Structure 1
Amino acid sequence: MTDTTPTSFTTHGLHTSAAAQARLRRRYAAERRFRLYGIAAIVAALGVLAVLLFTIVSQGYTAFVNTEIELEVYVDPADFSFQGTTPTSEEIRAGNYRNLLSSALEENLPDADAPGAARDLRGVLSGQAYRQLRERLLADPSLIGQRVSMSFLATSDIDQAFKGNTPRDVPEERRRVSNLQYEWMDYLEEQGRISTSFNSNLFTEADSRQPEQAGLWGAIVGSFYLMLVTAVLSIPLGVGAAIYLEEFAPKNRLTSFIEININNLAAVPSIIFGLLGLAVFIQVFGLPRSAPLVGGLALTLMTLPTIIIASRASLRAIPPSIREAAYGLGASKMQMVFHHVLPLALPGILTGSIIGLAQALGETAPLLMIGMNAFITTAPDSIFSPATALPSQIYIWADSSERGFVERTSAGIMVLLGFLILMNATAIFLRKRFEKRW
């Protein structure tokens, strides 16, 4: 009988021909290349992320400290107008603090009375220094007529120069800090009377025209109200819509049309929702512009598709045996959904909701369209008050050319990233904590 066994197989059924071996080598080589491509992509992504984070941190970490100058101030009673023996708070507030601090600078700095030094003196202390001295005297009026040693906030130019963020080896006409001011800085550093300390203004003050006084507190409060409105509206509506579509809605063309549109809305650019908020909530309903209420409504529209899709995926992941067991025990459909399916799907629903809110927290375009990029110097006290948010505050600072705002822009990004990381970490924790494997 003729042997019909192919020459490409051995008695053990393995490929031994040269062509088969070549195909195996090419396949293994392709697999190795694919793994290398994957590793290279991950390394490239991590490298870009590292460069981005390094750039942000290197430009912004100095914003978490500010420069203070220690001065001895003689609180001259002649700079106050007292009607009686005991000064009132109004009389203390009306004091000539500019003259008090100018005199203190002239006493504490060498060559302060040189020709042309008056302009340089005005560029040493921040405008907040007057408020610092006034608050100190309001707390203790007995200091009037005495010498007081205090640390005062320096201007942004002195602050940036002392931190080394501005070059010193350039011609004086190209610098914001004069040679005389640099001499004063060197003198104060030798005396140990100029130093950096934690910048509490960054977290306790709202926006300001002066970089050294500008802070994120107004934006943080505005973001809180914004997320409050978004969460209160989007989570109940999104979860409710997901439960109805997944568990109760009949499967017909109408529900299919709704599902397609929800998926499409998740891919709509965020600025479209800002235009919708401007056209509907402000122009039609007359809601206050720049208010967290309007911003929250616009972000609710943007967040709803994400929450609905994530919630439906969580409900769909529950095994059918759970539903069948509930029915077998005599549960109604409502009881089956709310007593058995929904508690098991809750970790995924919470995760999707938090991720949707984190996405909303970082959105800028919708807020710009409804005017939440205004210059707000006080923190909002309600959802109807004019406010800004962290992304729009970063946008405002990035639009300024002053070096002090450059570092605050990076610091604002770091704070925003911190909130986003915290929210995503919370989502991961909740998923791991309550997740059940089937």
Structure 2
Amino acid sequence: MTDATLPTAAATDLRRLVEARLKRRHAQERRFRLYGRIAIIVALSFLAVLLGRIVHQGYTTFIDNQIGVSVYLDPAKIDRTDIGGANYDQMVAESLLTKLGETDDEYGEKSGKILEIMSNDLGFQLLKQVRADPSVIGKRVTVTGPVKSDASLYYKGEIKRSTPQDSRKLDDQQLDWLDELKAAGAIKSGFNFGFLTRSDSTEPEQAGVLGAIVGSLMMLFVTAFLAVPIGVLAATYLEEFAPKNRWTDIIEVNINNLAAVPSIVYGLLGLAVFINWLAVPRSSPLVGGLVLALMALPTVIIATRSALKAVPPSIREAALGVGASRTQTVFHHVLPLAMPGVMTGAILSLAHALGETAPLLMIGMVSFVPGVPESLTGSATVLPVQVFIWETASERGFHERTAAAIIVLLVFMIVMNLTAILVRRRFERRW
């Protein structure tokens, strides 16, 4: 009888060879997992540094330092026939000097220093009260408003006494006054609601993001109104109805290429077509929405086609088998089932459009807009452009607000991405 087993030495060598290969495979798998973990840690570290830097620089914007001043409206200084001609800022400054136990000199030097730590919003409030009720002339009224941005930075610890006097905007006397006002209870700290309820201003302490938020929403409305229905219909036709030939292949290649075109190219296109040729108002939500709609279209088309491809062919075959037409099959069965993916792609494309700056700069949305846009054709700004404008400003207080505006923009984008995830999970079907 023949022994069919391998010799003991050969079997041992084969076993060792197999074990060595298994060890190499396991070692490769461990290294791959290690590399993956390192990559995730590095990515999260960069993200943490970025977000940490933004939050550290911008969270102080949401802390507001308000000053309350009791002002005597001297009838000798206010002409009832020309109420707006009085110097209300000077009245506030003189009242603050009196509160501090100071007297102004003949050159008004101390009043000038007071005005450097007090927002001119207090003077505007006095003017509004007198215009609304002239009977307050000759009486004392109390106004409350923000201190100047540099004074606020001092309270927040961004400006320090240890810094040489010639290296900071506030001198030692002004810092002494700020300390006295704080100790006297004239300065109150709280949440800066004004940052969310005001629009842009030339004064950092009065600048807010309301106008930019409204402009962004109006621009996104135009973008969604154009890009989503056009993109979905174009993708549906290409995927479900268009014949597969050379022309459709060229169209598909160009759509994929358009999705990778730099955004500034769309800005140049919008400048040439929408502004110079069609005379759409410059720096308006309408022209901004048109440009971003062009940029979002390829993404919407690609996402919609992917969602349509994910619908099983059996759905189409079942509908056609019971007598439905091709159009009924697509719009009554296939497209509704693909809608979660379609909506996810549309929301993500809009979130991407929300953060674009370069194409909007090309169409003139870099202008200073102090109010809230009233129509789609009126002048407006948006959050990314507002960030750009404030970062290039010379005043230090605007740099603080730059980071805060980035935080607001990130919140918008997180909400939109979270909405896309929730829509996907809510309507997703597993086949």
* TM-score range normalised by the length of the shorter chain: over 0.9
Equivalent position of 2:124 in the other structure: 131
Shift in Å, 1:151: 2.2
Identical positions, percent? 53
SS in 2 for 1:17: helix
Equivalent position of 1:275 in the other structure: 268
Match of 1:96 among 87, 94, 97: 87
1:46 paired with 2:61, answer no
Equivalent position of 2:32 in the other structure: 34
Equivalent position of 2:279 in the other structure: 286
Equivalent position of 2:6 in the other structure: 5
Match of 1:233 among 218, 221, 226: 226
The alpha-carbon distance between structure 1 residues 9 and 311, as it changes in their structure 2 partners (threshold 3 A), is farther
Equivalent position of 1:86 in the other structure: none
| Number of aligned positions between the proteins | 428
Shift in Å, 1:65: 2.3
Shift in Å, 1:337: 0.8
- Aligned residues of 1:67 and 1:153 also touching (Cα < 8 A): yes
Equivalent position of 2:22 in the other structure: 24
Equivalent position of 1:187 in the other structure: 180
Equivalent position of 2:100 in the other structure: 109
Equivalent position of 1:151 in the other structure: 144
The alpha-carbon distance between structure 1 residues 93 and 248, as it changes in their structure 2 partners (threshold 3 A), is same
Give the residue type in structure 2 aligned to 1:42.
Answer: I
Shift in Å, 1:44: 1.2
Give the residue type in structure 2 aligned to 1:200.
Answer: F
Equivalent position of 2:205 in the other structure: 212
Equivalent position of 1:398 in the other structure: 391
1:371 paired with 2:372, answer no
The alpha-carbon distance between structure 1 residues 118 and 93, as it changes in their structure 2 partners (threshold 3 A), is closer
1:295 paired with 2:288, answer yes
- Aligned residues of 1:206 and 1:216 also touching (Cα < 8 A): yes
Shift in Å, 1:160: 1.0
Equivalent position of 1:266 in the other structure: 259
Shift in Å, 1:22: 2.0
Which structure 2 residue ranges, 5 or more long, are not aligned?
none
- Aligned residues of 2:303 and 2:345 also touching (Cα < 8 A): yes
Deviates more, 1:116-125 or 1:253-262: 116-125
Give the residue type in structure 2 aligned to 1:35.
Answer: R
Equivalent position of 1:424 in the other structure: 417
- Aligned residues of 1:299 and 1:360 also touching (Cα < 8 A): yes
- Aligned residues of 1:201 and 1:213 also touching (Cα < 8 A): yes
Shift in Å, 1:162: 1.3
Deviates more, 1:307-316 or 1:73-82: 73-82
TM-score by length of structure 1 reads 0.93
The alpha-carbon distance between structure 1 residues 29 and 145, as it changes in their structure 2 partners (threshold 3 A), is same
- Aligned residues of 2:94 and 2:111 also touching (Cα < 8 A): no
Give the whole-Å Cα distance in 2 for the aligned partners of 1:131 and 1:28: 74
The alpha-carbon distance between structure 1 residues 9 and 391, as it changes in their structure 2 partners (threshold 3 A), is farther
Match of 1:382 among 375, 399, 405: 375
Shift in Å, 1:8: 8.1
- Aligned residues of 1:8 and 1:17 also touching (Cα < 8 A): no
TM-score by length of structure 2 reads 0.94
Shift in Å, 1:45: 0.9
Give the whole-Å Cα distance in 2 for the aligned partners of 1:165 and 1:378: 29
The alpha-carbon distance between structure 1 residues 110 and 180, as it changes in their structure 2 partners (threshold 3 A), is farther
1:315 paired with 2:308, answer yes
What's the CA shift string for 1:132-166, capped at 9, x where partnerless? Answer: 22334445554332222332321111111111112
Give the whole-Å Cα distance in 2 for the aligned partners of 1:258 and 1:152: 59
Match of 2:76 among 71, 75, 78: 78
- Aligned residues of 1:70 and 1:150 also touching (Cα < 8 A): yes
Match of 2:354 among 333, 358, 361: 361
Give the whole-Å Cα distance in 1 for the aligned partners of 2:145 and 2:380: 29
- Aligned residues of 2:201 and 2:370 also touching (Cα < 8 A): yes
The alpha-carbon distance between structure 1 residues 8 and 100, as it changes in their structure 2 partners (threshold 3 A), is farther
Shift in Å, 1:341: 0.9
Equivalent position of 1:88 in the other structure: none
- Aligned residues of 2:89 and 2:122 also touching (Cα < 8 A): no
Give the whole-Å Cα distance in 2 for the aligned partners of 1:251 and 1:79: 83
Equivalent position of 1:161 in the other structure: 154
What's the CA shift string for 1:36-84, capped at 9, x where partnerless? Answer: 111111111111111111100010011112221122211222232226x
Give the whole-Å Cα distance in 1 for the aligned partners of 2:10 and 2:355: 62
Match of 1:332 among 325, 338, 345: 325
Shift in Å, 1:256: 0.8
Shift in Å, 1:357: 0.5
SS in 1 for 2:44: helix
Shift in Å, 1:424: 0.7
- Aligned residues of 2:216 and 2:383 also touching (Cα < 8 A): yes
- Aligned residues of 2:316 and 2:329 also touching (Cα < 8 A): yes
1:61 paired with 2:54, answer no
Give the residue type in structure 2 aligned to 1:26.
Answer: R
- Aligned residues of 2:88 and 2:127 also touching (Cα < 8 A): yes
Give the whole-Å Cα distance in 1 for the aligned partners of 2:13 and 2:243: 55
SS in 1 for 2:188: strand
Give the residue type in structure 2 aligned to 1:157.
Answer: D
Shift in Å, 1:4: 6.5
Match of 1:257 among 229, 250, 256: 250
Give the whole-Å Cα distance in 2 for the aligned partners of 1:247 and 1:300: 23
Give the whole-Å Cα distance in 2 for the aligned partners of 1:405 and 1:62: 12
Give the whole-Å Cα distance in 2 for the aligned partners of 1:57 and 1:171: 28
Give the whole-Å Cα distance in 2 for the aligned partners of 1:232 and 1:8: 77
What's the CA shift string for 1:99-124, capped at 9, x where partnerless? Answer: 32122122112335368423312212
- Aligned residues of 1:372 and 1:387 also touching (Cα < 8 A): yes
Give the whole-Å Cα distance in 2 for the aligned partners of 1:296 and 1:117: 50
Give the whole-Å Cα distance in 1 for the aligned partners of 2:19 and 2:317: 53
- Aligned residues of 1:112 and 1:121 also touching (Cα < 8 A): no
Give the whole-Å Cα distance in 2 for the aligned partners of 1:348 and 1:46: 27
The alpha-carbon distance between structure 1 residues 6 and 257, as it changes in their structure 2 partners (threshold 3 A), is farther
SS in 1 for 2:70: strand
